[in-house]
Structure 1
Amino acid sequence: MKGDMQRWTPNVASIIEHAKELHPTTEIVSRMISGEIHRTNYDEVCVRARKLASALEKDGYKKGDVLATLALNTFRHLEMYFGISGMGAVTHTLNFRLHPEQAVYIINHAEDKIIFCELPFIPILEALKDQLKTVEKYVILCDESEIPETTLENTISYEEYIKDGDEDYKWPALEDDAACALCYTSGTTGNPKGVLYSHKSNIYHATSAYAALTINKDDCILMVVPMFHVLAWGIPYFGPMTGNKLVMPGMGMEGDSLYELIDKEGVNSAFGVPTVWMQLLAYCRENNKVLDSVKNTIIGGSALSLLCLKSLMKFMTLMLSMPGE
């Protein structure tokens, strides 16, 4: 006998659909490679995620295929989190800082079929392409007019790829334990180890994380932690679930760039590793700046010394340090 309460099949796409329905105009702010600020919202991100999912299906990709992202924290990466996983494929986030040998191993071991790649990372893939055994296509994260000459074969711009996707695409029902996302370890003994997340685990984590971190719908989150690092600690899931304004810095990790985003966008919750916050601290010291709006600073990835913690608390009001993952 099975219970009748809350019968549903887990799919992370339900999160972005929820955000579209309840928080359609809430902003997602991205600093692009050019330095320009791009603004979108949950309504637009959801529709574009549907179009991506539809385009992938039309292109012959199916449930269980592993599709990689070599991407920065921007609105397009957020769309891929939901568009790829939502249609049943697995979102594999690649770390662009990996040693070439490790990158080749990871891509081949995961059997990636597509790599969605930022413009600055094309040279990385050009150097590796002859060693990649399963990659069929490279989708460059740019407009049609921006795609450059490259030695990569079968390339297309992201905007051209999703252009003919169906805005009314219907997300499929997935198995209860269906794979959602894939991350590989770094800095471990031997070859990197793959960690395969399910839709259910990501949804359950999201429903508990925002409460544990005292996040509410009125918070504006600066997502500095990379989206290739432990799925950005779950922010791409619990942010839309809660209805948070998301601010994503792209390549702009310098102290002045981060300060500008915090100051102009009204950031009051920020997530990142110690090295980033120390750069921001140095900028604030040198320029006599204080981050009055920030009430929540989540620090993880490595241990933060007591001295650094005390120094940061002079510029931000509340800290939560979570060393290592």
Structure 2
Amino acid sequence: MKTKILDPSQNAHQSPLLIKSLLLSGQRYEPNHEIVYSDVLRYDYKTLNQRICKLANVLTEAGVQAGDTVAVMDWDSHRYLEAYFAVPMIGAVLHHVNVRLSLDQIIYTMDHAEDNYVLVHDDFLILAEQFGEQIPSVRGYVQLSDKANAAQTSLNTLGEYEALLASASAQYDFPDFDENSIATTFYTTGTTGNPKGVYFSHRQLVLHTLNMAATLGCYEGQPLLRSNDVYMPMTPMFHVHAWGVPYTATMLGIKQVYPGRYEPNKLVELFAKEKVTFSHGVPTVLQMILDSDAAKTTDLTGWKMLTGGSAPTLGMAKHMAERGIEFFTAYGMSETCPLLTATYLHHDDLAQPMEEQMSERIKTGVPVGLVDLRIVDPAGNEVIHDGEAMGEVVVRAPWLTQGYYKEPEKSDELWENGWLHTGDVASISPDGTLEIKDRIKDVIKTGGEWISSLELENLISQSEAVNQVAVVGVPDVRWGERPFAMIVPAEGHSIDAEDIHKHLQQYVASGQIAKWAIPERVSIVDEIPKTSVGKINKKLIRDQVDN
């Protein structure tokens, strides 16, 4: 196709989409809004910008160059936020290390990413001290401490973070460079093999940030994040850029509260003390908040919660509504930066009582701006949007990872036929609402029929005796697979397999599920296994049942 391109003036400046541009507006609009780190530190947006310059000077003077990789091993903190900006703004790559992986996996990801410098919190020194010569690319460490006296370490550090910043200049002339330069990388874990590295450019992160600001702030049906909100993440900052919200919040100049290590009671206390209005996290973390002692004596009204990472159950959503929490669902994955869809409530939905809105609020929502999303059959043909027909979710958007780092075959598989394949099975209703039915690998195939593990979890969760539930398929000689349910009872309740069978019979009678979908095996446990980012670990559950 031949398009028309005009010749620009020789004096015109071609402004690349760089992360540094996101810092221009926050301190203009709300210079007095604060960045808060737990009960340790607080400062305003002018100071944030100065500290980012100071960190850039510290790293540059230490020898960090454009193209180097700087790793961070920290809890959710002001330091992490500063690194979100300073590291990519000097042309380096920020590696968000998943500190909840095993030591071997951490070493693998850092060696694979070819990390050159590491910012490491006192709590993770014991891990870093075991790296030895296994990550030969590492040239230096910066120690991160919350205490006046930093912990002793055998690492050859450049110094302690705050002390280094104190002596650094608050001026830095951040350069322009190609907007397609890689800004961040992190690793996503699967059910088999080593973690896979995804990566994102400055251009992708800026576009994702602008789109998230519009999605969460402009629509009446998605009223989540505006300039007068107070933001506190409950998603690790090493996990998909804390879903990208810190970049958006900083651009908007919103008050931000970073809690450090996640402790449910402390999170609720910070919510009340700092007047937090917006948070996000996976369902298991949100359930921990609801179950905490602090939540029992705290009015949670007005707390807007966005969940993602795994499907929320209707039972948990109703519990949120009872406590006055405004609950929304989003969908994305590590490979998608991550935002793809979010709950959108139409005028008629908003007119309903909150509890009656929950069935809509737990759906995955509608694709956000600039996202081309489809559901396709195994042959790649698009599936009808009738709310019933199911297919795999495939997407295109400007901010999707272009592959897995140094994994060309897996990259080609991810991008088969020019669409990013999510591995999720979903339906789309006539009004365009996406509803995830299951992961392809988690759909239960019994006697030639498919059962959605998410649907069973949803139904089981509506028993008042159930706190948490996970359903997986386990091998069966006769039927191929049968559903198995692992359940944590609600406080003050006892429950057994017979109770679950009786509870599910009502949905058989109403035609929602077939009789053969009821799990024959039920395990009552104190805790359901979780992954390193707090999702239910269905692979481990299946392994435990098999053994």
With structure 1 as the length reference, what TM-score do the two structures score?
Answer: 0.92
Structure 2 equivalent of residue 90 of structure 1: 93
Give the whole-Å Cα distance in 2 for the aligned partners of 1:305 and 1:235: 24
Q: d(CA) in 2 for partners of 1:285 and 1:87?
A: 42
Aligned residue for 2:312, secondary structure, equals coil
Select which of 255, 264, 280 maps to 1:271.
280
User: What residue number does 1:100 align with?
Assistant: 103
Structure 1 residues 144 and 84: alpha-carbon distance in aligned structure 2, compared to 1, 3 A threshold: farther
Match of 2:257 in 1: 247
- Cα 1:260–1:100 shift into 2, 3 Å: same
Identify the residue that residue 138 of structure 1 maps to in structure 2.
141
The aligned runs of 1:107-256 (5 Å cut-off) are 107-142=110-145, 145-214=148-217, 215-251=225-261, 253-256=262-265
Cα deviation for residue 324 of structure 1 reads: 5.8
How many Å apart are 1:245 and its aligned residue? 0.8
- Note if contact 1:143-1:159 (Cα within 8 Å) is conserved in structure 2: no
8 Å CA contact retained: 2:122, 2:144: yes
SS in 2 for 1:206: helix
Query: In percent, how many aligned pairs have the same letter?
Result: 32
- Show the 5 A alignment for 1:275-286: 275-283=284-292
- The 2-side partners of 1:212 and 1:284 are apart by 34
Paired residues, number: 319
Structure 1: segments with no counterpart, 5+ residues: none
Matching residue within 28, 36, 54 for 2:35: 28
How far is 1:216 from its partner? 1.1
1:143 and 1:158 in contact (8 A); partners too? no
SS at match of 1:128: coil
The change in CA–CA distance for 1:313 and 1:125 in structure 2 (over 3 A counts) is same
Which of the pair is proportionally richer in helix? 1
Aligned to 2:326: 318
Cα distance in 1 for residues equivalent to 2:155 and 2:18: 33
CA deviation vs aligned residue, 1:34-92 (integer Å, no higher than 9, x gap): xx342112111110111111222222211111000001111111111111111111111
- Following TM superposition, by how much is the alpha carbon of 1:145 offset from its aligned partner in structure 2, in angstroms? 4.9
Q: Which amino acid aligns with 1:297?
A: M
Q: How far apart, CA to CA, are the structure 2 residues paired with 1:110 and 1:95?
A: 13
Whole-Å separation in 1 of the counterparts to 2:253 and 2:70: 27
| Partner amino acid, structure 2, of 1:247 | V
Aligned partners of 1:179 and 1:229: how far apart in 2? 17
SS of 2:232's partner is strand
**Larger RCO of the pair (alpha carbons < 8 Å, separation 6+):** 1
Confirm whether residue 9 of structure 1 aligns to residue 16 of structure 2.
yes
The superposition leaves residues 184-208 of structure 1 with CA deviations (integer Å, 9 ceiling, x where unpaired) of: 1123432111111111111111111
Q: Against the structure 1 CA distance between its residues 263 and 126, is the aligned structure 2 distance closer, same or farther, given a 3 Å change threshold?
A: same
2:313 maps to which of 288, 297, 305: 305
Alpha-carbon distance between aligned partners in 1 of 2:154 and 2:226, rounded to the nearest angstrom: 46
Give the 3-state SS of the residue equivalent to 1:96 in structure 2.
coil
CA shift in 2, pair 1:315/1:107, >3 Å: same
Instruction: Kindly indicate which of the two structures has a greater share of residues assigned to strand.
Output: 2
Residue 262 of structure 1 is matched in structure 2 by 271
Question: CA shift at 1:155, angstroms?
Answer: 4.3
Unaligned residue ranges in structure 2 (runs of 5+) = 1-5, 218-224, 334-547
1:288 deviates by: 4.3
Preserved contact between residue 145 and residue 151 of structure 2 (Cα < 8 Å)? no
**Shift in CA distance, 291/145, structure 1 to aligned 2, threshold 3 Å:** closer
- Deviation, 1:267, is 1.0
Q: In angstroms, what is the RMSD of aligned CA positions?
A: 2.0
SS where residue 183 of structure 1 aligns?
strand
279-288 or 57-66, which deviates more: 279-288
Aligned counterparts of 1:93 and 1:16: Cα–Cα separation in 2: 20
Q: Kindly indicate whether the alpha-carbon contact (under 8 Å) linking 1:55 and 1:165 is maintained by their aligned counterparts in 2.
A: yes
- Decide whether aligned partners of structure 1 residues 261 and 145 sit closer, same or farther in structure 2, where only a CA change above 3 A counts: closer
Equivalence for 2:393 = none
Residue 68 of structure 2 corresponds to residue 56 of structure 1: no
Give the TM-score, by structure 2 length: 0.56
